[in-house]
Chains A and B, each alone.
Chain A
Amino acid sequence: MADNGYLPTVVVLSGGLSHERDVSLRSGRRVSQALRSRGYEVVESDVDTSLLSRLAELSGSVVFPVLHGEAGEDGSLREVFDLLGVPFVGSIGSACRVAFDKSIATTVIGAAGIRTPTQVALPYETFRELGAQVLVRALGDQLGFPMMVKPSRCGSALGCSKVTRPEELPAAMVGAYAYGSVAVIEEFIEGTEVTVAVVDRGRGPIALPAVEIRPESGVYDYTARYTAGATRFLCPAELDPDVANSCADAALRVHGALGLRDLSRTDLILTSDGEPVFLEVNVSPGMTETSAVPLAIETAGWSLGKMCADLVHAASARGGKTDPLRASIGAR
């Protein structure tokens, strides 16, 4: 709550034109509800041609982007908010741009000393130029099977497939390119799937308890993510304390290395010897009824409403313009 008791209007942005529009709308409803429960005036808004005039009318408000995929997570919208001096919750544009692209983020995270899967990022043209057969064979030889194929810029496991045999690779590539022009092909890491949220409520980033993900079908795909009942979640994850600490530490380092702000969620695979391997980071993590972050918040003994309110408060106190020094850290 703001110090003088004044609560800014919050514009919760959800929807957009990304492939994850539906997920975003659900996340947005939940965040809006949570904020209203804390007494905030909430305006739910889609991203469209009337957004900027709407924001102009609501001057003094704080934007809470709950957009998944493309414009919401690649930083472009946030750059606009920054330019206009509109305070918003979450990471700045330049940091998002790095975090949202799996291949770029993986490089940065690897350089920060966290283990990452061996991977290559290839636009489809490369296959045309070098010949798909030769390249597919080389990928198989170098990465081995099974391997993972993903669009480099997309969430909710859309377009991702696990490839166990060489014959499956071309279809997996086509599936990933349906979501974007660059695909990431990486070694498959066997292990326990955990995800760790990092939240900064104004006193520095802290890691929430890790959530362990056990999809009933064995694959944490779109259906397993958004069908209640299809996935078993354990929070805190069933881990030795030192392993749990190393997960928390990895997530905090990811948050720091990418210059993220307010909130992030890092997806990790824990190998059998307890080493966390970075898979991806989300600057706008899912907040749906079946999402991991709200569960972690609850386990930590907080409420989603309180956490969202704290983030709004921090954004409001920060004001509209990102200071250039922080921006440059994010852009590293």
Chain B
Amino acid sequence: MLERLRRQDTRLDDYIDRYAARAHGMTASAIRALFAVANRPEVVSLAGGMPNITDLPLDVVGDALNDLVLHDGRRAMQYGSGQGEPAIREAICEVMRLEDISAHPDDVMVTVGSQQGLDLLTRIFCNPGDVVLCEAPSYVGALGVFRSYQCEVVHVAMDDQGLNPEALTEAIEALRAAGRTVKFFYTIPSYHNPAGVTQPLDRRIELLRIAEQADLLVVEDNPYGLLGFDGDPIPPLRSLNDDHVIYLGSFSKTFAPGFRVGWVLAPHAVREKLVLAQEAATLCPPVFSQYAVTAYLMNHDWRGQIKIFREMYRERRDAMMAGLTSHMPAGTSWTKPEGGFFVWLSLPPGIDSHAMLPRAVTARVAYVPGTAFYADGLGSRHMRLSYCFPTPERIIEGTRRLGEVLEYEARMLEIFGTAVEPESGRLALGPREAPGPDQT
């Protein structure tokens, strides 16, 4: 039967020669596939950054949505404004006031999560090859956006107070001397994802001074600003400067991510371009979601709810700190987050977080290798641990398992010497290697 069969000659994708250059990096990744295992209850996942909405009062939300449909359904289910509904833009200004940002609803544009804000900003500002400055490490979702617009990401070093001012100055000077166009610098000043650090006020002032001097735009991404564990929030960059800073906000962490409602606060001219870009992208952001969020804000003590979230995350942060202190081997260090979801762990020299992930999965614990947060392939000596989702007991158990894995890695290192390739030799695979948004 082997003869006379018609030969198939196929790459199993009939469209393969038609994709744009920007789709070329969209490939399967073994590391990313491992996160499928992290979904299983046997695994303690310290990988995903899913907000923990267990404490949301579903009855309150349910009643508000019911009322919404019954009383305002025809408007809520209709097309709306490209800029976003007026009522929610007013409410957004009220939310921002909690962090000392004063803004007019006209300067706010609603987005499909702050993720879309990043997308639209990059769309209106960046040509292929333009440079975007990012922290080292930076938010994986932002790196994905910058990559998809074919920007070049240049990372700027951080210290335990966030972005390092000297490194920023040097990077700007070096890039400009090389004739490169730097379009903006993207920063997460509070409770950084993934680094878990926060810029103190004087650092913020210094960074803004540098940006002004260099006439560089700052994109401030602040989804966690209200989730600080101690004291009052540190003023966002936007509250200190309103012409060099474009601000991204989100209800994903203070309410719920499923509505996909975030916003951009931008200088007037930029906002106008953004609205046109938004109309081209979606016609208008989801009207029903905006009405739903507004109804929630009006019918529920959302400030009290944020306090509840904050305490819940604080308890988990404490568990993470306790677990790491008990179970991490010598030579390991980590950041001590004052808010948000994440801890950045640095491993003893020679241990590669990327290479050891399969073993961790076998030991039923998951994390995101540091390489996901770099556009240039660095980061293998680090990992991101998130404490937002598992219970405190599970977090501690997770650190225990991780400690065992690291011990094993140390033994391997002892046997094989510095088996790890030099960091610079690695292929830049970063952003695809983080878990997808649906994975814990």
Q: Which residues of A contact B359 (CB under 8 A)?
A: 177-179
| Chain A 11-41 interface 0/1 with B at a Cβ cutoff of 8 Å (1 = within) | 0000101111111010000000000000000
B356 touches A178 (CB 8 A): yes
* Cβ-based interface call for B178 (8 A): no
Segment at the interface with A among B279-287, B371-379, B410-418: B410-418
Q: Which residues of B contact A158 (CB under 8 A)?
A: 30, 358
- Residues A211-254 near B (CB distance < 8 A): 216, 221-223, 225-236, 238, 241, 244-245, 248
* Cβ-based interface call for B361 (8 A): yes
Q: Which residues of B contact A299 (CB under 8 A)?
A: 5-8
A244 touches B13 (CB 8 A): no
- Residues A165-192 near B (CB distance < 8 A): 170-171, 173-175, 177-179
B16 touches A233 (CB 8 A): no
**How many angstroms between the C-alpha atoms of A22 and B355 in the bound complex?**
19
Q: Nearest CB to that of A156 among chain B residues?
A: B30
**How many angstroms between the C-alpha atoms of A227 and B11 in the bound complex?**
10
**How many angstroms between the C-alpha atoms of A230 and B5 in the bound complex?**
24
**How many angstroms between the C-alpha atoms of A192 and B36 in the bound complex?**
32
Q: Which residues of A contact B417 (CB under 8 A)?
A: 132-133, 170
* Cβ-based interface call for A195 (8 A): no
A173 touches B28 (CB 8 A): no
Partner of A226, one of B10, B15, B28, B40: B28
Partner of A222, one of B6, B29, B40, B355: B29
Q: Which residues of B contact A234 (CB under 8 A)?
A: 7-9
* Nearest-Cβ distance from residue A166 to partner chain B, whole angstroms: 12
Partner of B358, one of A19, A23, A236, A241: A19
B3 touches A241 (CB 8 A): yes
Q: Which residues of A contact B421 (CB under 8 A)?
A: 171
A21 touches B36 (CB 8 A): yes
Q: Which residues of B contact A132 (CB under 8 A)?
A: 415-417
A228 and B5 in contact, given A23-B33, A178-B355, A223-B29 (Cβ under 8 angstroms)? no
A233 touches B416 (CB 8 A): no
* Cβ-based interface call for A104 (8 A): no
B30 touches A290 (CB 8 A): no
* Cβ-based interface call for A301 (8 A): yes
A25 touches B36 (CB 8 A): yes
Q: Which residues of A contact B330 (CB under 8 A)?
A: none
A128 touches B11 (CB 8 A): no
Q: Which residues of A contact B358 (CB under 8 A)?
A: 19, 158-159, 178-179
| Chain B 375-419 interface 0/1 with A at a Cβ cutoff of 8 Å (1 = within) | 000000000000000000000000000000000000110111101
How many A residues, CB 8 Å from partner? Answer: 58
Q: Which residues of B contact A207 (CB under 8 A)?
A: 2
Q: Which residues of A contact B16 (CB under 8 A)?
A: 228-229
* Cβ-based interface call for A89 (8 A): no
Q: Which residues of B contact A248 (CB under 8 A)?
A: 2
**How many angstroms between the C-alpha atoms of A128 and B410 in the bound complex?**
13
| Chain A 117-132 interface 0/1 with B at a Cβ cutoff of 8 Å (1 = within) | 0000000100110001
B33 touches A22 (CB 8 A): yes
A124 and B412 in contact, given A19-B361, A231-B11 (Cβ under 8 angstroms)? yes
How many B residues, CB 8 Å from partner? Answer: 43
| Chain B 82-123 interface 0/1 with A at a Cβ cutoff of 8 Å (1 = within) | 000000000000000000000000000000000000000000
Select the residue from A17, A46, A127, A179 with max chain B CB neighbours within 10 A. Answer: A17
* Cβ-based interface call for A300 (8 A): yes
A222 touches B30 (CB 8 A): yes
Q: Nearest CB to that of B3 among chain A residues?
A: A241
* Nearest-Cβ distance from residue A72 to partner chain B, whole angstroms: 13
Partner of B10, one of A209, A221, A238, A295: A295
Q: Which residues of B contact A295 (CB under 8 A)?
A: 8, 10, 12
Q: Nearest CB to that of B8 among chain A residues?
A: A235
**How many angstroms between the C-alpha atoms of A132 and B419 in the bound complex?**
11
Q: Which residues of A contact B352 (CB under 8 A)?
A: 174
* Cβ-based interface call for B177 (8 A): no
| Chain B 1-40 interface 0/1 with A at a Cβ cutoff of 8 Å (1 = within) | 1110111111111011000000000011110011011001
B28 touches A222 (CB 8 A): yes
Partner of A230, one of B11, B34, B357: B11
**How many angstroms between the C-alpha atoms of A132 and B13 in the bound complex?**
44
* Nearest-Cβ distance from residue A299 to partner chain B, whole angstroms: 5
| Chain B 28-72 interface 0/1 with A at a Cβ cutoff of 8 Å (1 = within) | 111001101100101100000000000000000000000000000
A233 touches B419 (CB 8 A): no
Select the residue from B6, B42, B358, B420 with max chain A CB neighbours within 10 A. Answer: B358
B419 touches A228 (CB 8 A): no
B30 touches A223 (CB 8 A): yes
Q: Which residues of A contact B13 (CB under 8 A)?
A: 228-229
B355 touches A175 (CB 8 A): yes
Q: Which residues of B contact A231 (CB under 8 A)?
A: 11-12
B8 touches A171 (CB 8 A): no
A232 touches B10 (CB 8 A): yes
**How many angstroms between the C-alpha atoms of A156 and B411 in the bound complex?**
27
Q: Which residues of B contact A233 (CB under 8 A)?
A: 8-12
B37 touches A19 (CB 8 A): yes
A170 touches B419 (CB 8 A): yes
**How many angstroms between the C-alpha atoms of A221 and B16 in the bound complex?**
19
B419 touches A173 (CB 8 A): yes
**How many angstroms between the C-alpha atoms of A127 and B416 in the bound complex?**
8
**How many angstroms between the C-alpha atoms of A302 and B34 in the bound complex?**
33
A228 touches B12 (CB 8 A): yes
A178 touches B357 (CB 8 A): yes
Q: Which residues of A contact B7 (CB under 8 A)?
A: 234-236, 238, 299
Partner of A301, one of B5, B36, B43: B5
Q: Nearest CB to that of A158 among chain B residues?
A: B30
A173 and B8 in contact, given A156-B30, A158-B30 (Cβ under 8 angstroms)? no
**How many angstroms between the C-alpha atoms of A177 and B413 in the bound complex?**
12
**How many angstroms between the C-alpha atoms of A171 and B358 in the bound complex?**
15
Select the residue from B6, B15, B29, B33 with max chain A CB neighbours within 10 A. Answer: B33
B8 touches A225 (CB 8 A): no
* Nearest-Cβ distance from residue B59 to partner chain A, whole angstroms: 30
Partner of B415, one of A46, A48, A127, A226: A127
Query: Which 9 A-B residue pairs are closest in the complex by CB-CB distance?
Result: A229-B13, A229-B16, A228-B13, A226-B28, A222-B30, A22-B36, A22-B33, A170-B416, A170-B419
26 residue pairs A–B, Cβ–Cβ below 8 Å = A15-B40, A19-B34, A21-B36, A46-B40, A124-B412, A128-B414, A170-B417, A173-B419, A174-B352, A178-B356, A179-B359, A179-B362, A221-B30, A229-B13, A230-B11, A231-B11, A232-B11, A234-B7, A234-B8, A235-B7, A248-B2, A295-B12, A299-B5, A299-B6, A299-B7, A300-B1
Q: A158-B358, A223-B27 are in contact. List 16 more A-B contacts (CB 8 A).
A: A15-B40, A17-B43, A19-B33, A127-B416, A175-B355, A216-B11, A222-B33, A223-B29, A226-B28, A230-B27, A231-B11, A236-B2, A236-B7, A241-B3, A299-B5, A299-B7
